[in-house]
Amino acid sequence: MAHTLTADGQIAVATLGHSKPHLVTTTLAVEAMHCGHCLRTVETALAEVPGVQSARVNLSARRVAILAETATTSPETFVAALASRGFKASILAPQVQAPAADRGADLLRRLGVAGFAAANIMLLSVSVWSGHGGDMAASQQSAFHWLSALIALPAVAYAGKPFFASARQALSAGRLNMDVPISLGVTLATAMSLFQTFRESEQVYFDAAVTLLFFLLLGRVLDQNVRVRAASAAENLLGRRTVTATRISSDGSRGAIAIMDITPGMKLQIAAGEQIPVDGLLLAASASLDDSIVTGESAPRFAVAGDAVHAGAIALSGPFSIEAAAAADDSLISQIARLMQTAEQARGRYVRLADRAAQIYAPAVHILGALTFLGWMIAGAGWEAALTAAIAVLIITCPCALALAVPVVQVVATSRLFRDGIVLKAADALERLAEVDTVVLDKTGTLTRGRPELSAAAELSDAIVSRAAGLALGSRHPYALAVVREAERRRIEPLPLADVRESAGAGLEATHDGRTLRLGSSTFCRVQREQDAGASLWFADGDTAPVVLHVSDVLRSDAVATVATLARDGYAVELLSGDAGPSVESTAEAAGILRWSAQQRPEQKIERIHALAGAGHRVLMVGDGLNDAPALAAGHAAVSPSSAADISQMAADAVFQGERLKPVITCLRVAKAAQRRALENFAIAIGYNALFVPLAMAGRVTPLIAAIAMSVSSIAVTLNALRLARMTTDVAP
């Protein structure tokens, strides 16, 4: 079997010595793929494409690998097939590797084994406790103890491996962590129980050891499930770069070239709908570009010869040519990816309160256990009694409640947020959200709906809407789509037009009944200077006076109330946007935001966030565009709407659904309440230890009672966390 890399990013698979079809594997990144139904829809859509041998979806990474014949298929065919089912897809470069498997699945398996073993051993223990004495009862008791040992030994070995491995690593490095006393307590309890089983003693604590592991693994699973992510946001961003480009040689010929081979000075041809591969300068007279990757603005940009164009921008008109100004690794999209990686690494240095407490807690547990053993030995109680008391101390001081204090709050808070359509992604997001004192909002798609609409449309007659919609059907411009949506809303049939022509950056025109219809800018529609009110869209029907179509990106329905509530809750609010100044100013004024900045590039947004951080502020960044992703990662915390670009959702700590902005308030209030519950849980764990540790050291607590007491403390912190489920987060009107 031989593998070769094709020019379009596919991996060719050729079978040597056979005449079988030439197959290639293509990997696509698929947006908005969230569930099993999506998985089946994607695989079914691709399986229906002629020549496809197989299609396998990686749901966690939102990728699909397609094995197909090169003679009958192309990557564009797959993208089109998914688009017909409502999924936007893009080709991933072959060098982008699949993300690592979620380690939480391994912990979940170990949790299942511990739970199953604990339940069965507890049943056997209940049978022993309910015995009535006698020789027959003694033999049954011994049999049940041996059955418990047969269940417990493999369960402890398998379920306890994460703790044993962590403890061994810590000890080999000459330090202590929370897993050292856990491992010691479980090992001693298991070994002591096995010894007592050989002696046919009643003091057997297999149930205590396995139950302890179950509760500890539960905490570890809760923590891991929200902390480990399947893929790197920066990696997926780089993977979405176009793989090849069309080079214009000195003799005028065209040929494909890998983007990694592009050097400054090369001339490249860009077709309509293609992604610009590298940063460069426009050589054509004009071009219309979807430049939202740079500015986040929904309106396309009209560029003229000599203007800079950026990698990742989409050509809305074409074909045209550009001159490369930078290599692929130096392009804007690569810079955004590097900013993402830097911000993510900075975030990874966040140390949780429980981890800091472990630095003191772990050695204290060992000291107490050792003092207990020595004290009983000095008192002449014998090694068995001394060891039993020491084991009880290790178990009762085992940091189960401490380990659950934060994860159980996270789970309840996550459920509470999910009830309001908010998905929490990062494990320590609640802690960071609780520390926020400044909220920075993006404009388009965040503070506003991100979808231009016609305002004052009731003033337009049905005939004007019909003609304008007929023209608008010939373009994908956001303003044209707004006209089409207005026609659909009013159930007006667009006028059929066969010869619609689009002038890049100007507008659309067609001929109907001998009259020229135009939809576009004031200049394009020949609006008189004294009539030009600065509107973005006009419609002209022959020689009649042009009609203005007011287009605006309206605020979310509760944006004003949300901003006011943030201010009342003590948060400073800012607006950072890549949009033009007048648009940002009017939006900020309408929303009640006093501080705003316009035309902000990704690095400028990060600079502002860093400046706020340098002044001692903790910033919550709320954004949705691809250009917002680095700022989201750089903020102390980050939130994105579900309509956000996939890269922004991955960079955010929380994603909210729906049209309302209230979830930002909900996130902050639930986070602060969760912080209080977490601190209360730490107090419960400390109080439990203050009560039971002296009893255990005095020999008043057996290892089994210690395990039960430890479980009760875990239940107590869980019940305290459940108080979060009943809290309300109403926003004042």
* Greater model confidence, 351 or 637: 637
User: Is pLDDT of 245 > 60?
Assistant: yes
Mean pLDDT of 229-254: 64
For residue 23, give every residue at least 6 positions away whose Cβ sits within 8 Å of its Cβ, in sequence order, or none.
Answer: 12, 13, 14, 53, 67, 68, 69, 70
Q: Residue 671's closest CA among 650, 654, 649?
A: 654
For residue 439, give every residue at least 6 positions away whose Cβ sits within 8 Å of its Cβ, in sequence order, or none.
Answer: 566, 571, 572, 573, 574, 619, 620, 622, 664, 668
* Greater model confidence, 466 or 599: 466
Residue carrying the six token digits 């994607």? 42
Are residue 416 and residue 433 in the same domain, yes or no? no
What's the structural domain count of the chain?
A: 5
**Looking at the DSSP assignment, which residues form a beta bridge with residue 500?**
none
What's the Cα-to-Cα distance from 588 to each of 323, 554, 592, rounded to whole Å? 38, 12, 6
- pLDDT interval class at 25 (50, 70, 90): confident
pLDDT at 571: 93
Are residue 443 and residue 588 in the same domain, yes or no? yes
Are residue 431 and residue 572 in the same domain, yes or no? yes
Alpha-carbon dihedral 491, 496, 497, 502, rounded to 10 degrees: 30
Residue 203 lies in a domain: no
Q: Which residues of 609-619 are buried (b: 16+ CB within 10 A; e: fewer)?
A: beebeeeeebb
Are residue 79 and residue 45 in the same domain, yes or no? yes
Given 69, 91, 113, the domain boundary residue is 91
Q: What is the rounded average pLDDT for all residues in the chain?
A: 75
Are residue 444 and residue 465 in the same domain, yes or no? no
CATH number of the domain where residue 287 is located: 2.70.150.10
Residue 252 lies in a domain: yes
pLDDT at 14: 38
Residue 581 lies in a domain: yes
Are residue 433 and residue 579 in the same domain, yes or no? yes
- Does 442 participate in catalysis according to the annotation? yes
- pLDDT interval class at 99 (50, 70, 90): very low
Residues 323, 327: Cα–Cα separation, whole Å: 11
Residue 139 lies in a domain: no
CATH number of the domain where residue 582 is located: 3.40.50.1000
Residues 376, 81: Cα–Cα separation, whole Å: 75
Q: Find the helix or strand (DSSP H, E) in which 14 lies.
A: strand 11-14
Strands of the 595-597 sheet, one edge to the other: 422-424, 654-656, 637-641, 619-622, 438-441, 572-576, 595-597
- pLDDT interval class at 143 (50, 70, 90): confident
Are residue 11 and residue 47 in the same domain, yes or no? yes
Are residue 574 and residue 657 in the same domain, yes or no? yes
Residues 647, 733: Cα–Cα separation, whole Å: 33
Residue 178 lies in a domain: no
Catalytic pick among 207, 279, 290, 442:
442
Residue 42 lies in a domain: yes
For residue 592, give every residue at least 6 positions away whose Cβ sits within 8 Å of its Cβ, in sequence order, or none.
Answer: 560, 563, 564, 567
The range of the structural domain enclosing residue 18 comes to 2-91
- pLDDT interval class at 637 (50, 70, 90): confident
* Greater model confidence, 406 or 55: 55
pLDDT at 220: 67
Mean pLDDT of 161-182: 76
- Percent of the chain residues topping a pLDDT of 70: 74
Given 331, 348, 364, the domain boundary residue is 331
Are residue 548 and residue 616 in the same domain, yes or no? no
Given 532, 552, 572, the domain boundary residue is 552
Q: Residue 322's closest CA among 301, 335, 333, 306?
A: 306
Residue 512 lies in a domain: yes
User: Is pLDDT of 3 > 50?
Assistant: no
**How do residues 686-725 score in pLDDT, each as one tens digit?**
887 788 888 878 877 766 677 677 767 777 887 888 888 7
Residues 216, 111: Cα–Cα separation, whole Å: 9
**How do residues 254-290 score in pLDDT, each as one tens digit?**
887 877 778 888 999 888 778 788 888 888 777 888 7
Asked whether 604 and 583 are in contact (CB, 8 A), the reply is no
CATH number of the domain where residue 9 is located: 3.30.70.100
**How do residues 288-324 score in pLDDT, each as one tens digit?**
887 665 554 555 777 777 788 888 777 877 788 899 8
pLDDT at 96: 40
Are residue 414 and residue 465 in the same domain, yes or no? no
CA angle centred on 132, ends 128 and 133, rounded to 5°: 90
Examine residue 602 and say whether the peptide bond preceding it is cis (omega within 30 degrees of 0): no
* Greater model confidence, 126 or 544: 544
Are residue 617 and residue 651 in the same domain, yes or no? yes
Residue 598 lies in a domain: yes
Are residue 414 and residue 492 in the same domain, yes or no? no
pLDDT at 668: 92
Q: How far is CA 654 from the centre of its chain?
A: 7
Beta strand spans in 70-225 (E): 89-91
Beta strand spans in 261-379 (E): 267-270, 280-282, 286-290, 301-304, 308-309, 314-315, 320-324
pLDDT at 651: 67
- pLDDT interval class at 498 (50, 70, 90): confident
